[in-house]
Amino acid sequence: MKNRSFLKALFAIMLVLMLALTACSKESSKPADSGKTEQKGEEKEEGKNEEKAENKDGLYSIEDFNNVKTNEGEAIEGGNFTFGLVSDTPFEGTLNFNFYSGDPDFQVLQWFDEGLLTWDANYVYTNDGAATYETSEDGKTFTFKIKDNVNWHDGKPVTAEDWAFAFEVIGDPKYDGVRYGSDFSNIVGMEDYHNGKADKISGIEVVDEKTLKMTFIESTPSLLTGSIWTYPLAKHIFGDMPVDKISSSKEVREKPIGFGPFKVDSIVPGESVVLSRNDDYWRGKPKLDSVTVKVINPNVVVQALEKGEVDTVSSFPVDQYPANAEMSNVEFLGTIDRAYTYIGFKLGTWDKEKKAVKTDPNAKMADPKLRQAMWHAVDNNAVGDKFYHGLRWNATTLIPPSHPEFHDATNEGRKYDPETAKKLLDEAGFKDVDGDGMREDKNGKPLVINFASMSGGDTAEPLAQYYIQAWKAVGLNVQLLDGRLQEFNTFYDRVGQTGDDDPAVDIYQGAWGVGIDVDPRGLYGQDALFNFTRYSSAENDALLADGVSEKAFDVDYRKEVYKKWQQFMVDEVPVFPTLYRAVVVPVNKRVQNYAIGDGTGIYLGDIALTQKEELPAK
């Protein structure tokens, strides 16, 4: 009997331990990737084999990559193409452009629906898409004509009415998506409609079945680069539904509709979608018979590619590239990411009343020379080579080279030069008064700069430490905020995503994915909440406003403005860019006509295969 009670006790202890274990493990198994899509902050594409980077031959350069797949062999008719949607969570299943918010849904959507306008390599709308457009003299009125052969998957034509309906739904106060914003309120009458003062949007006029006229309050060149909502919403299906019920309806989640190259056949919620060819596609019948989109876990991307189980993937972890560069059954495509990493200096606070930046001239980091010196003190080329095998590299200006038209390649930013850094600090009066090797501030008081950096990935810590050492080498005492890295949500809360900036943060390392429109007002404007540095100046405002003025419709003028702005930011340094990034995507060798990036003129309907069978690695 004694034995039994002992066993029971043991058992109870085991149970408790098991519970404790599960409790801990729930916490620790949280992946580094927090599932955020647009926010580029989480450093997930980290270099693991640093010793490889020591070897100069282990370095790669984005210039050696092509963004269009080379076609080998003869294409066959039909076949099934498998697209690996890399995600550690299932896709949400809000399968309509007007309602989706997560990138995984976008990866599914692109196969069966598309926008009415397409854009070229400079992100300017072209007339090659499903609709063409004309602009009035004053640039405020746009007339769109939807091509006659553009039909929904159920055979009904895509009409101007459908397009106008999309605006009515997004502008509706009950709309539960995230798309409503300045792009919409810039349409004449939209604000009134949004606030319930009007039942119609006066600036949107359906001229005839296929013609739509849109009038904007302000004309800006941004209108031509992504500021027009181009996704119609099928009115014959959604017209009678209450607006707040659309996103959860069967027609969005189970039997979604579009007018793209493929039609949805079946959906396993969160896991996979099978699509078949849309013979009535307006660009002509697609070459493939069917497409399978399925979610694959980031841990198994490489294996799935080697097996030929997927033909390509939505994203590939750059840190795994060096080990797999020689994979025999794929070709790696590469392009420059529309993103940059940067270090920002806190220069003020957010005024919630005025909804504007309040720059503090007495901020700790207020001296431009201090900021310039801190840029000169870090060697970002070394960072790119050592941590990212050259797949990230030194950034020079705040308009990344993914916008080739506006990126000023002649501007070199501030080069790594510790001597200049020291000189600048001496000039500004940051001198080592007490002889401890560290500089004091202008008044001779100790200067400690608190550095906020995000956790996630293996290199987050060494990278932050590298910067701290580089600054120490020029005599600046920089400390990690709280002595540790910050978790994603905490980081952005403290940096100021809700406007409550934490005064303890002096400098921070963040990253931005930039939109296709080059206009940087959303990140550096005076009224931008995401202007986390809280920097503002009259000249900055003037330049930013000039970049979207009517004069800026002239591309050369706009280039000139942004060239000036890039130089202005190099002089003022409210933030300095550290790294530009490459996107690398493997594509199976049996695939033809596949491209990544913008304005390639290659569309998903063009994809063809050279053999029906999967092609595994040898």
Restricting to residues 85-104, name those near another protein by CB under 8 A: 88-90, 92-94, 99, 101-102
The yes or no reply on residue 34 touching another protein (CB under 8 A) is yes
The answer to whether 135 touches 141, Cβ cutoff 8 Å, is yes
The yes or no reply on residue 178 touching another protein (CB under 8 A) is yes
Site for another protein in 450-509 (CB under 8 A): 487-490, 492-493, 497
The yes or no reply on residue 29 touching another protein (CB under 8 A) is yes
Beta bridge partners of residue 291, listed in sequence order: 81, 275
Binding residue for another protein, selected from 22, 55, 362, 443, defined by CB under 8 A: 22
Which of these, 511, 501, 541, lies nearest to 360 by C-alpha position? 501
φ and ψ of 141, to 5 deg = -115, 130
Site for another protein in 354-383 (CB under 8 A): 355
In whole angstroms, the minimum distance from the beta carbon of 439 to another protein comes to 33
Count of positions (residues) in the chain: 618
The answer to whether 114 touches 258, Cβ cutoff 8 Å, is yes
How many residues touch another protein under the rule CB under 8 A: the total is 78
The answer to whether 106 touches 91, Cβ cutoff 8 Å, is no
CA angle 567, 347, 520 (to 5 degrees): 45
Binding residue for another protein, selected from 157, 429, 462, 513, defined by CB under 8 A: 513
Site for another protein in 305-324 (CB under 8 A): 306-307, 309
Provide the residue type at 348 as one letter.
Answer: G
Q: Which is nearer to another protein, 25 or 61 (CB)?
A: 25
The yes or no reply on residue 241 touching another protein (CB under 8 A) is no
Binding residue for another protein, selected from 9, 12, 13, 14, defined by CB under 8 A: 14
Binding residue for another protein, selected from 9, 25, 442, 446, defined by CB under 8 A: 25
268 to 287: interface string for another protein, x by CB under 8 A = xxxxxxx-------------
560 to 599: interface string for another protein, x by CB under 8 A = ----------------------------------------
Provide the residue type at 475 as one letter.
Answer: G
Q: Where are the beta strands (DSSP E) in 61-140?
A: 80-86, 131-135
Q: 206 CB contacts (<8 Å, ≥6 apart)?
A: 160, 161, 164, 212, 213
The yes or no reply on residue 611 touching another protein (CB under 8 A) is no
H/E element, 581: strand 575-588
Q: Where are the beta strands (DSSP E) in 464-518?
A: 477-480, 507-513
104 to 143: interface string for another protein, x by CB under 8 A = ----------------------------------------
Spatial separation of the C-alpha atoms in residues 545 and 20, rounded to whole Å? 57
Can you read off the two tokens belonging to residue 461? 């810590």
In whole angstroms, the minimum distance from the beta carbon of 395 to another protein comes to 17
In whole angstroms, the minimum distance from the beta carbon of 406 to another protein comes to 15
The answer to whether 591 touches 81, Cβ cutoff 8 Å, is yes
In whole angstroms, the minimum distance from the beta carbon of 3 to another protein comes to 6
